Amino acid sequence: MKVAVLGSGGREHALIRALWRSKSVEHLVSIPGNPGTAETAKSVCFDPGDFDALRKFVRKERIDLVVPGSESLIAAGVADLLAREATAVFAPDKEAGKLESSKAFASEFRTRYGVPQPRYAVVDRMDEALDKARDFLSEFGGVAVKADGLAAGKGVVVARDWETARKAIREALVDRRFGNAGRKLVLEELIDGEEISILALVDGVRIVPLLPSQDYKKLRHGNTGPNTGGMGAYAPVPWCDHRTMDEIRQTILEPTLRGIQAEGFRFRGVLYAGLILSPRGLLVLEYNVRFGDPETQAVLSLLESDLGELMLSACRGSLPPEPLSWKDGAAVCVILASAGYPRSSSHGDPIDGLSAAQNAGAIVDHAGTKIVGGRLVTAGGRVLGVTALGPDLLRAADRAHEAAARILFHGKQMRNDIGRVGNSQGASKIGPVGSRNRVP
**Residues contributing to the site for ligand GLY (CB under 6 A):** 215, 230, 288, 292-293, 295
State in angstroms the smallest separation of the CB of 409 from ligand GLY: 23
- By three-state DSSP, how is residue 106 classified? helix
Taking CB positions, which residue lies at the least distance from ligand GLY? 292
Q: Note whether 145 and 172 are within 8 A (CB).
A: yes
Q: Considering the complex, state which of residue 215 and residue 392 has its C-beta at the smaller distance from ligand GLY.
A: 215
Q: Considering the complex, state which of residue 193 and residue 230 has its C-beta at the smaller distance from ligand GLY.
A: 230
Q: Considering the complex, state which of residue 98 and residue 395 has its C-beta at the smaller distance from ligand GLY.
A: 98
Q: Note whether 18 and 303 are within 8 A (CB).
A: yes
User: Measured between alpha carbons, how far apart are the two ends of the chain, in Å?
Assistant: 28
From the list 211, 236, 127, the residue with the least C-alpha distance to 173 is 127
From the list 116, 117, 127, 124, the residue with the least C-alpha distance to 147 is 124
| Cβ neighbours of residue 60 closer than 8 Å, sequence gap 6 or more | none
Phi, psi of 341 (to 5 degrees): -65, 140
Cis (ω within 30 of 0) for the bond into 68?
no
Q: Considering the complex, state which of residue 200 and residue 405 has its C-beta at the smaller distance from ligand GLY.
A: 200
Please give the DSSP secondary-structure letter assigned to residue 153.
Answer: T
From the list 42, 401, 375, 423, the residue with the least C-alpha distance to 217 is 423
Q: Considering the complex, state which of residue 189 and residue 293 has its C-beta at the smaller distance from ligand GLY.
A: 293
Q: Considering the complex, state which of residue 274 and residue 411 has its C-beta at the smaller distance from ligand GLY.
A: 274
Cis (ω within 30 of 0) for the bond into 32?
yes
State in angstroms the smallest separation of the CB of 307 from ligand GLY: 18
Please give the DSSP secondary-structure letter assigned to residue 433.
Answer: P
State in angstroms the smallest separation of the CB of 342 from ligand GLY: 13
Q: Considering the complex, state which of residue 11 and residue 110 has its C-beta at the smaller distance from ligand GLY.
A: 11
State in angstroms the smallest separation of the CB of 335 from ligand GLY: 10
